[in-house]
Amino acid sequence: MPDSLPLARLPDAGAHSAWQAELRLGFALHDGVSRLVERTHSGPLRVQKPLYPEGDGVCHAIIIHPPGGVVGGDQLAVHATAGEGAHALLTSPGAAKWYRANGHVSGQHVVLRAGSGAAIEWLPQESIFFDQACVRLRHEVELAADASYIGCDIVCLGRSASGETFNTGSISQHVQIRRGGRLLWWEQGVLAAGGALMASPLGLGGHTVCATLIAVGASAAPAVVAALREIKVPAGALFGATQMKSLVVVRLLCGDSEAARRIMLAAWQLLRPAMLGRAAVVPRIWNT
């Protein structure tokens, strides 16, 4: 769909109108260059020109959501495929903001696929959930048997800088990762504002920021996992790294989104060379 087409705001049931947005991206390796070969969008989700800050082998795509925030009833969908041998890194220009529900559920559905020898990275900046947000998130990854993936998710509950807490609302999350048709990771749950999981040591333990990084690729050496566990975290934060053969998961609970970004970046810088075989070149947009 041409980028010049106007954005369409599509109504859902009742008087409420909501953004219904979908973005489909395809990457292919041609003559040693990972090229963006498909870019189709409807509604306010798009990618501008592909970027190559680390050479031709990796295509960086910055996903833009022009409204700047997601209100109750908005539905976003992203489908991205890296073809055989291609490498794509998807990120965002800033934090995603999920506003109060106003009686409607918002949602995001991400589907990522990587073919033989390909790699795909999902590295958006943090997501801020305002008080009274009601959100359903679904993240699905399908990898060929020798494909690789890194994905990071930083969840911030409320706007702590403004003194806002997440007292009302809910966040539903579903994550599944398959490699070579085999299920590697399955996680789902519902976090209800004010519920037991917010304060329980089996849940968030009173922390307002939760970050998860999952890497799938070559088996990480024990020294890499040991280095992950040595990353410095703020006092009172909870942090850990677990390796399950070709998968490594890094978790963090804290109260500072900036600290979460720093720690997840440090983890990515260790895991990307070890599991994807590429140096960790930081996207410029993260520094703006």
- Tell me the residue type at 153: D
Can you list the residues of the chain whose pLDDT is less than 70? 1-17, 161-163, 288
Give pLDDT, residue 277.
Answer: 96
Give pLDDT, residue 9.
Answer: 36
Give pLDDT, residue 288.
Answer: 67
Residue 51: both structure tokens together: 């970027």
Tens digit of each residue's pLDDT (9 = 90 or more) over 186-232: 999 999 998 888 889 988 999 999 999 999 999 999 999 999 999 99
Residue 92: both structure tokens together: 């965002």
Contact between residue 153 and residue 212 where contact means Cβ atoms under 8 Å apart: yes
Give pLDDT, residue 159.
Answer: 82
Please list the residues that pair with 273 across neighbouring strands.
Answer: none
Give pLDDT, residue 17.
Answer: 65
